[in-house]
Chains A and B, each alone.
Chain A
Amino acid sequence: MELLKVQDLDVYYGGIHALKQVSFTINAGEIVTLIGANGAGKSTTLRAVSGLVPTSSGSVEFKGVDITNMPAHKIAGLKLTHVPEGRRVFANLSVEVNLQLGAYLRKDKAQVQEDLERVYTLFPRLAERRRQLAGSLSGGEQQMLAMGRGLMANPELMLLDEPSMGLAPLLVREIFRVIEEINRSGTTILLVEQNAKMALNVANRAYVLENGAVKLSGTAAELLQDERVRKAYLGG
């Protein structure tokens, strides 16, 4: 079943043609990754899907509903959650309040409480620091908080932008382990990563973006073997 369908998306960003006729689909249950160089349009694609940047043409459909240019706060209410680049946690609020804000639109209080426990089980470090200000956490802990906050919305589709950026190798593996675990428990994932190798190892399928356009696509296994991908993104 197609969960997300992006068709011929064009985005202009301050005079720059940032996305050119980008099309891709994500099926329910998959992990799909977008790989590409800096400035290829990966983040812009996520931002266009979650409503943070306006699109000039093309369409975005989520669960069969047209969400093109819908306000970001409404898209969030459809259980499409965007965990943005650079964590963007609320620095002067406690870890727990950050997580509560992730569930801002939910009315099912008992279920929210259960999900909070689930997030604390997934990230025991957050449980230890639940009363601390988010700004006092380390980079890795902030990434866990950003993902935990995203999970609190109980999303069907989670957009993850550069979750491993700036983290030590041990933490990167930890983050990828959690991504697989989140996916196993039923959340579909669209992952943007500079670390193409790690991303292709967890993903089912991938799209390669170059200069704002989709250059290649295929299963992760195919792309891992692809000569062009190996040269450009996997270090030979």
Chain B
Amino acid sequence: MQWQLLAAQLINGIALGSTYALIALGYTMVYGIIRLINFAHGDIFMLGAYFGLIAISSYNLSLIPAMIISMCLAALVGITLDRIAYRPLRQSPRITVLITAIGASLLIQSLAQLIFGADYRSFPAKAIPIKIIRLGSIIITNRQIIIFGTAILLMILLHLIVNYTKLGKAMRAVSMDKEAAQLMGINVDRVIAFTFAVGSALAAAAGILVGILYNSVDPYMGTLPGLKAFVAAVLGGIGIIPGAVFGGFFMGIAENMVVAFGSSTYRDAVAFAVLILVLLIKPSGLLGKRVQEKV
């Protein structure tokens, strides 16, 4: 029976990891472009879950339109956050912006508690009825497949946007050299806003997917997945898009392996053990290049 447990936890890990990967993408994109760890990112993930929940339970929308609406609203929140909290500090020391991000995180959590209430809420069961799929003796639920499939689809979409659209290319140019990008006629502030929009939309999708996975939504649900996704981004090499995807899956699988072979007590500790190990052994992340300090 041991290998079936292993397979089951591996599947759980892949489903959970795909949501971490979606969140980690936002962290890493924003870091890549303005060198900021946006600590409010996990809270946008939480808002995304609420937007989806409300769209499904109050407006009777089905999953896909609810997700699209939630992603659009979260994108607006992300743009607003950048516009009012971060953009005025563009020339400030990084620590100032970092502290602002922590403040923004607390503010969004408190506002969410004020507006949505502190209670746990859940998606109506009819939103996605559970179906069980048996592959031999391995059990997969349709929810796991939806989560994994949606995440992969969004990642492919992001890959196409970043590599093949004009704005995506501008985004990469800005992340490499802001001044040179301006000389090309690229409006740097607009590209940064676009980055926040895309990252926030991905986080919102992850929020709905996690809400479905655990069937629970609350104002503080963003904290732990946010931290774990942050570790995932660091693990893959912060600022590197494929690194975030790799890190996300790694974290999800590692967490579930700890549950399978150790104790579920330590499932959250694994994230921080990984963080410490990465920072000790390869601070630039597994896919990161060593940055040479220029003298």
Contact = CB atoms under 8 A, between A and B. Distances in A.
Given A73-B188, A104-B166, A92 B182 contact: no
B133 interface: no
Nearest to B177: A88
A77 B185 contact: yes
Interface stretch (A94-102, A124-132, A208-216, A222-230): A94-102
Contacts of A74: 185
Nearest to B183: A82
Given A76-B185, A81-B183, A153-B185, A101 B177 contact: no
B187 interface: yes
Interface string A166-187: 0000000000000000000000
A149 B188 CA distance: 18
B176 interface: yes
Nearest to B191: A73
A82 B187 CA distance: 16
Interface string B179-207: 11111111110000000000000000000
Nearest to A50: B183
A214 B223 CA distance: 59
A18 interface: no
A101 B169 contact: yes
B227 interface: no
B184 A76 contact: yes
Contacts of A72: 179, 182-183
Interface residues of B, number: 17
Interface residues of A: mostly helix, strand, loop or mixed?
loop
Interface of A: 50-52, 71-74, 76-77, 81-82, 84, 88-93, 97, 100-102, 104-105, 149, 153
28 contacts: A51-B182, A72-B182, A72-B183, A73-B182, A73-B186, A73-B187, A73-B188, A76-B182, A76-B183, A76-B185, A82-B183, A84-B183, A89-B180, A90-B180, A91-B176, A92-B176, A93-B172, A93-B173, A101-B169, A101-B170, A101-B173, A101-B181, A101-B186, A104-B166, A104-B170, A104-B184, A104-B185, A149-B184
Given A82-B183, A101-B169, 15 more contacts: A52-B179, A52-B182, A72-B179, A73-B184, A74-B185, A76-B183, A84-B180, A88-B180, A93-B172, A101-B173, A101-B181, A104-B166, A104-B186, A153-B184, A153-B185
